[in-house]
Chains A and B, each alone.
Chain A
Amino acid sequence: MHLSTEELVDVTADAATLFLGMIAEDTGVAEPSGLEGVIATIPFGEPPVGALTVACPPALGELLAATVLEAEAPDGDDVADAVGELANVIAGGVAGLLGHSVMALPTVTTGYGLAIRVPGAEAVRQRQLLVDEHPLIVALHETPAGVAADAIAADAAAAEAEAHLGSADAHAGAAASDGDPAR
């Protein structure tokens, strides 16, 4: 199945509205490297066939957490939770449009010089939206047809973070499910 850029942007904007009550404006193709902030990745499909990644600068992560938690000074765990859940909501919408299920919980990495890279998969969509003047990057990676999916990972090199599908390797409190098709 195919996901258009417009569909990816719409799903992302709807999720941003749920979290922030704000409009997210599409500003074009993203250049997701050398990022500072929070990156949340969640695989989808059973077996995994791709991953959805969301990245944002610290200021937007803090705004997300502060808004949904109604807290003035959210801590790092709160920011990771909010960005991870945003990725989860977007991944659910994307996976549904692609005819897949989300089988895992998000993995969240915070740091500097981050890159959105999913080994074993190729980026098919990367867009940047603007939310309250902050960039929100969303990227969709899919495995090429016939390629084993267990190599897919979210790799944030500067933070030395790597989360392989099917494992329970986790950061910021996220953990993978056991892959029961009912989930």
Chain B
Amino acid sequence: MKFLIVDDSKAMRMIVQRTLRQAGHDDAEVVEATDGAEALEIVKTEQPDFILSDWNMPKMDGIDLLKALRAEGIDTGFGVVTSESTPQMQELAKDAGARFVISKPFTAYDLADALEGVA
């Protein structure tokens, strides 16, 4: 299974990747993008099975990335991993088609639960 991890922080991309392995996806292939705009291009070439994206990023944030993907007819599974998740953000993400929103800091159990049945 191929994941695309989108986060402007190199440290957080590594943490998400490490936690993904701990969550039982230790054989997953991982590709990375540093913002939504880069992710939008990488999705087309790499065709990941699932996208784990930060919300707050330069150039294009996570919710705009999700909307852009859906507008182009790309329905790759999408989960938001963010430092906060207000009810407003949860609703926005859900309405745009996100499968889940999980907040940092998160554990391998949190990520495994979120991915259960969707990846």
Interface residues of A (CB under 8 A from B): 14-15, 17-19, 64-65, 68-70, 78, 81-82, 84-85, 88-89, 91-93, 95-96, 101-105, 175, 177, 180-183
Contacts and interface: CB of A to CB of B under 8 A. Distances in A.
Given A96-B86, A101-B89, A105-B58, A68 B11 contact: yes
Interface residues of B, number: 26
Contacts of A81: 9-11
Nearest to B67: A182
A105 B61 CA distance: 11
Contacts of B15: 18-19, 68
B115 to A, nearest CB: 18
B99 interface: no
B6 to A, nearest CB: 14
B112 interface: no
A111 to B, nearest CB: 20
A88 B105 contact: no
Contacts of B92: 182
A70 B55 contact: no
A43 B106 CA distance: 22
17 contacts: A17-B105, A18-B104, A19-B11, A68-B15, A69-B11, A70-B14, A78-B10, A78-B11, A81-B10, A85-B12, A88-B9, A92-B82, A93-B84, A96-B103, A102-B84, A175-B58, A182-B92
Interface in B34-85: 55-58, 61, 63, 82-85
A88 B86 CA distance: 15
A80 B89 CA distance: 27
A65 B58 contact: no
Contact of A15 (B10, B18, B88, B105): B105
B32 interface: no
Contacts of A103: 56
B56 A102 contact: yes
Contacts of A18: 15, 104-106
A181 B61 CA distance: 12
A104 B58 CA distance: 9
Given A101-B84, A183-B55, A84 B105 contact: no
Contacts of A177: 56, 58, 61
Contact of B83 (A70, A92, A182): A92
A89 B104 contact: yes
Given A17-B105, A18-B106, A88-B83, 5 more contacts: A85-B9, A92-B82, A93-B103, A102-B83, A102-B84
